[in-house]
Amino acid sequence: MDDTPETEWIAACAHGLHRHWRTVDPRELEAVATELSRDERLRAMPPMAAAFEWLRPVTCSQVVSFPQ
């Protein structure tokens, strides 16, 4: 587990989420970060890495083009 105290981890993770979603209320992002802190795999990561990992499906999705 990351050695960062939980409240600091949540704040840093929320900041990472805010870098991607600037229009979302920071309190909502803090709530998401709190949920992420309960995931053992994500909590073992540094907070910014956990935010990036959680956002990966949104930020790295492939665009599929269909033949016309």
In a domain, 1, yes or no: no
Query: Which range of residues forms the domain containing residue 49?
Result: 6-59
Q: Are 37 and 10 in contact (CB under 8 A)?
A: yes
* 67 C-beta neighbours (distance < 10 Å), count: 3
Q: Are 47 and 9 in contact (CB under 8 A)?
A: yes
Residue 65 or residue 9, greater confidence: 9
Model pTM?
Answer: 0.81
Q: What's the domain count of the chain?
A: 1
In a domain, 16, yes or no: yes
In a domain, 66, yes or no: no
pLDDT tens digits, 6-59: 999 999 999 999 998 899 999 999 999 999 999 999 999 999 999 999 998 877
